[in-house]
Amino acid sequence: MLNIAIAGLGTVGAGVVRLLKQNAGTISSRAGKAIKIKAVSARNKGKKRDCDLTGIDWAEKPQALAEMEDVDVIVELIGGGEGPAKQLAEAALKNGKHLITANKALIAAHGIELAKLAEASKVQIAYEAAVAGGIPVIKALREGLSGNSLTSVRGILNGTCNYILTRMREGGLDFKTALAEAQKLGYAEADPTADVDGHDSANKLAILAALTFGSKPDLASIRLEGIRHITPLDLQFADQLECRIKLLGVAKLTPMGLEQHVAPALIPKKSPLAHVNGPLNAVLMRGDFVGDVMLEGQGAGAEPTASAVVADIIDLARGRTTPAFGVPTKDLKTLPTARGSTKMRYYMRLQLMDKPGVVADISTVIGSEGISIESLIQRGKPSSGAVPVVVTTHEADMSAMHRAFEKISQIKAVGLHPCLMQIEE
Ligand code: HSE
């Protein structure tokens, strides 16, 4: 018997309770023993929940779960990188209990401290549910691809953003309308900042990069840009360029070090990532022997996330364990950050006043930064207002491109809200 205690009974917590009950037979045979929920804790005992808690002890404070003698595993589903979730995780590991968590903010920010605590207490940390919900990407990186030298990981890591961008393209909706739709469907949080400004994706990318490169999670080095400034026009131009726009998390090794960013990007339609639509997530990993491997599936929601949590529970019950980041913490590398050195192709969308010489002025700025233009698309003049113009470039140095973009934004005939995006390989 493996005795677990669950802290947090929101959507995911209730999903875990339901799944353990519904599939109890298969789960215990795969785990080699029965899984028993000994106790749970949540903020409001009286709240009606979509799960049956009969026969399960209730603890008023999550911390109390970490003190229970007969509990082997703490499942932390409270959320948040600090506060009660962190306190519970630390207490659990110090008290010699295994920790399973769905908390990306906690692992991205404090994963190393927690992994050291786990090593000291000779217990395990598992966090499959923290990245891309039901997609078993942690297992793939930590185990399935562990013979490879991995060179990059790319992911569509936020379902809310992917849903918004999909609806903006398919329905011609503007950002605000698509966001309101995502909120109505329950994809986006009431405060959508973490989703649409890229913080949620950045936490997930920091974890994936650590597993991919055997390095410490380095959230602070991730260049971050959200999707608020993308317009339906950009999605139409992207289509014309045989691309899709996705909020992409990328971590790759360059000669200068580790390059990590979360930003909207144009992805050629021939890439499998371009076809991941709606609220789905996907992760594309590249290894020296295996080549490219892509996993796609549901990155959020009660059932997919519970699926990942329960897989971790079964692994623990079976004694299938690995160090939290694939190697002992003493072997994790600190990689230098490659900033501004990467060469990429770019898409720049401008709204120009229709007067002679404007396009020439823009080309001059781009040329003066040593950047070569690949194509220029000018749409017919709308009945009123500015003319949309898109410039795509050949591979350009990131710093040079950003300098050119700043200078172009200052030109009088260039309208408000210009947009610069990378074109991914
Ligand atoms: N809010 C996230 C998303 C799921 O939209 O993908 C939890 O990380």
What pLDDT, in 10s, does the model give residues 123-150?
999 999 999 999 999 999 999 999 999 9
Q: In angstroms, what is the span from residue 131 Cα to ligand 1's centroid?
A: 9
Report whether residue 304 contacts ligand 1, using a CB cutoff of 6 Å. no
Average pLDDT over residues 376-400: 86
How would residue 263 be classed by pLDDT, with cut points 50, 70 and 90? very high
Active site residues: 204
Structure tokens at 285: 């990993």
**Protein residue whose Cα sits closest to atom 4 of ligand 1:** 300
What pLDDT, in 10s, does the model give residues 6-40?
999 999 999 999 999 999 999 999 999 999 999 99
341 pLDDT above the threshold of 70 = no
201 pLDDT above the threshold of 70 = yes
Strands 419-423 and 343-352: antiparallel
Q: In angstroms, what is the span from residue 19 Cα to ligand 1's centroid?
A: 20
Q: In angstroms, what is the span from residue 211 Cα to ligand 1's centroid?
A: 20
357 pLDDT above the threshold of 80 = yes
Of 131, 195, 203, best ligand 1 pocket probe by most atoms within 8 Å of the beta carbon: 195
With a pLDDT cut of 70, the percent of the chain lying above it is: 98
340 pLDDT above the threshold of 80 = no
pLDDT at 383: 59
69 pLDDT above the threshold of 90 = yes
Of 11, 103, 127, 160, best ligand 1 pocket probe by most atoms within 8 Å of the beta carbon: 160
Q: Minimum mean pLDDT among 1-5, 380-384, 404-408, 418-422: which range?
A: 380-384
- Looking at the CA of residue 159, tell me the nearest atom of ligand 1: 6
Q: In angstroms, what is the span from residue 349 Cα to ligand 1's centroid?
A: 28
With a pLDDT cut of 90, the percent of the chain lying above it is: 90
Report whether residue 205 contacts ligand 1, using a CB cutoff of 6 Å. no
What pLDDT, in 10s, does the model give residues 264-313?
999 999 999 999 999 999 999 999 999 999 999 999 999 999 999 999 99
pLDDT at 297: 98
Of 158, 166, 167, best ligand 1 pocket probe by most atoms within 8 Å of the beta carbon: 158
SS3 of 1-46:
CEEEEEECCCHHHHHHHHHHHHCHHHHHHHHCCCEEEEEEECCCCC
Cβ contact 254:124 at 8 Å = no
321 pLDDT above the threshold of 70 = yes
Closest listed residue to residue 10, CA positions, set 36, 48, 37, 38: 48
CB atoms within 10 A of CB 325: 25
* pTM score of the predicted model: 0.95
Structure tokens at 22: 């519904």
Report whether residue 162 contacts ligand 1, using a CB cutoff of 6 Å. no
Report whether residue 299 contacts ligand 1, using a CB cutoff of 6 Å. yes
Higher model confidence: residue 35 or residue 255?
Answer: 35
How would residue 314 be classed by pLDDT, with cut points 50, 70 and 90? very high
Report whether residue 298 contacts ligand 1, using a CB cutoff of 6 Å. no
How would residue 386 be classed by pLDDT, with cut points 50, 70 and 90? confident
- Looking at the CA of residue 300, tell me the nearest atom of ligand 1: 4
Report whether residue 155 contacts ligand 1, using a CB cutoff of 6 Å. no
Report whether residue 192 contacts ligand 1, using a CB cutoff of 6 Å. no
What pLDDT, in 10s, does the model give residues 79-138?
999 999 999 999 999 999 999 999 999 999 999 999 999 999 999 999 999 999 999 999
Q: In angstroms, what is the span from residue 194 Cα to ligand 1's centroid?
A: 9
Q: In angstroms, what is the span from residue 56 Cα to ligand 1's centroid?
A: 29
pLDDT at 384: 61
379 pLDDT above the threshold of 90 = no
- Looking at the CA of residue 157, tell me the nearest atom of ligand 1: 6
- For the stretch 183-192, contacts whose Cβ atoms lie closer than 8 Å and that sit 24 or more positions apart, written own/partner, are 187/159, 187/160, 187/163, 187/279, 187/300, 188/160, 188/163, 188/164, 189/160, 192/160
pLDDT at 356: 87
pLDDT at 373: 97
| Terminal Cα distance for the chain, rounded | 49
406 pLDDT above the threshold of 70 = yes
Q: In angstroms, what is the span from residue 159 Cα to ligand 1's centroid?
A: 6
pLDDT at 187: 83
Place of tokens 């309770």: 17
